[in-house]
Amino acid sequence: MSLADRPSPVATRRAARREEILTAAERLLDEDGIEGLTMRRLATEVGMQAPSLYKHLRDKQELLGALQQRALQSMGDALADAGPTLAELAAGYRTWALANPALYRVATAVPLERERIDPEIEERAAAPVVAAVDGDEHRSRALWAAAHGMVDLELRHRFPDGADLDAAWAALVAAFEA
């Protein structure tokens, strides 16, 4: 990076403010779920009026996109650390999702704008899944969808109350191991 390209102090301050906003947004998400994240609440959380947010973010869509990117990053980390077997990968996926339910929603529900998102992030999160089915892309999509479905239904409390979800996950893993 040449001297001329060094980010100016004001640019750095702007970026820091943006980080501060995103972090506050994650905190809101964590505390009050996805419907707790409103532009107005977020503004008071960082100590400004709602309209001021629009100096840092184009709109709520962009906010959600940025959070989605962070979520995929964090999930990618978790999957990379999970271990190579299908069972370990599945457990890692479920564990991350249950630990970050609102962030999982954002990662998963927001229609990701493929133009703007860093494609590396998505690929990195997907890589262990592809590896677990020996590179078969169709099987990897089915596996990814299956894991997503399990988590989605669990988070929405759509399984019967006493349902043995460990056993359901085991059945899922078994199906894809064969």
Residue the block writes with tokens 């959380």:
45
Q: Of residues 114, 115, 135, 162, which one binds a copy of itself by CB under 8 A?
A: 114
Residue the block writes with tokens 């998963």:
108
Q: Which does 111 bind (CB under 5 to 8 A by kind): a copy of itself, DNA, none?
A: a copy of itself
Q: Which helix (H) or strand (E) holds 113?
A: none
Q: Which of 98, 102, 103, 94 is nearest to 72 (CA)?
A: 103
| Closer of 58 and 156 to a copy of itself (Cβ) | 156
Q: Which does 2 bind (CB under 5 to 8 A by kind): a copy of itself, DNA, none?
A: none
Cβ neighbours for 64, distance < 8 A, ≥ 6 positions apart? 106, 110
Cβ neighbours for 166, distance < 8 A, ≥ 6 positions apart? none
Should residue 60 be labelled a site residue for a copy of itself when binding is judged by CB under 8 A? no
Q: Which does 142 bind (CB under 5 to 8 A by kind): a copy of itself, DNA, none?
A: a copy of itself
Should residue 77 be labelled a site residue for a copy of itself when binding is judged by CB under 8 A? no
Q: Which does 6 bind (CB under 5 to 8 A by kind): DNA, a copy of itself, none?
A: none
Contacts with DNA, 17-36, as mask; x by CB under 7 A:
x-------------------
Q: Which does 73 bind (CB under 5 to 8 A by kind): DNA, a copy of itself, none?
A: none
Contacts 24+ apart (CB under 8 A), 110-117: 110/64, 110/65, 110/67, 110/68, 112/65, 112/68, 113/65, 116/65, 117/65, 117/68, 117/69
Residue the block writes with tokens 């980080």:
19
Task: State which of positions 153-172 bind a copy of itself (CB under 8 A).
Answer: 153, 156-159, 161, 163-165, 167-172
Binding site for a copy of itself (CB under 8 A): 108-109, 111-112, 114, 136, 138-139, 141-150, 152-153, 156-159, 161, 163-165, 167-172, 175-176, 178
